[in-house]
Amino acid sequence: MTSATKSLLWLMLGLCLGLNVMLSVVLDEGGTETVLSVLTGICALAAAVGLFAMRRADR
C-alpha cells in the first residue's frame, strides 16, 4: 500500500474522532446524537483496522 493510502486513513481517523467529540458537545442527548455517534465510531474503527492491516502487511 502507498503512503497516500496511509495518510488518508490517518486523516479519516482524526476527522471521525474529532467529529465524534464535537457531536457529543454540540448536540443534546437524543436519537440524533446516538446515531451520528455510532456512525462516526464505526468510521473511526474502520480506519484503525485499515491502519492495523497495513502495518501487518508491511512486515
pTM: 0.80
DSSP letter string, 3-58? HHHHHHHHHHHHHHHHHHHHHHHHSPSSHHHHHHHHHHHHHHHHHHHHHHHHHHHH
Which pLDDT tens digit goes with each residue over 6-40? 999 999 999 999 999 898 888 888 888 889 889 99
Q: Is 2 exposed, middle or buried (0-12, 13-18, 19+ CB in 10 A)?
A: exposed
Band (pLDDT 50/70/90 cuts) for residue 55 is confident
pLDDT at 25: 86
Mean pLDDT of the chain: 89
Greater model confidence, 41 or 56: 41
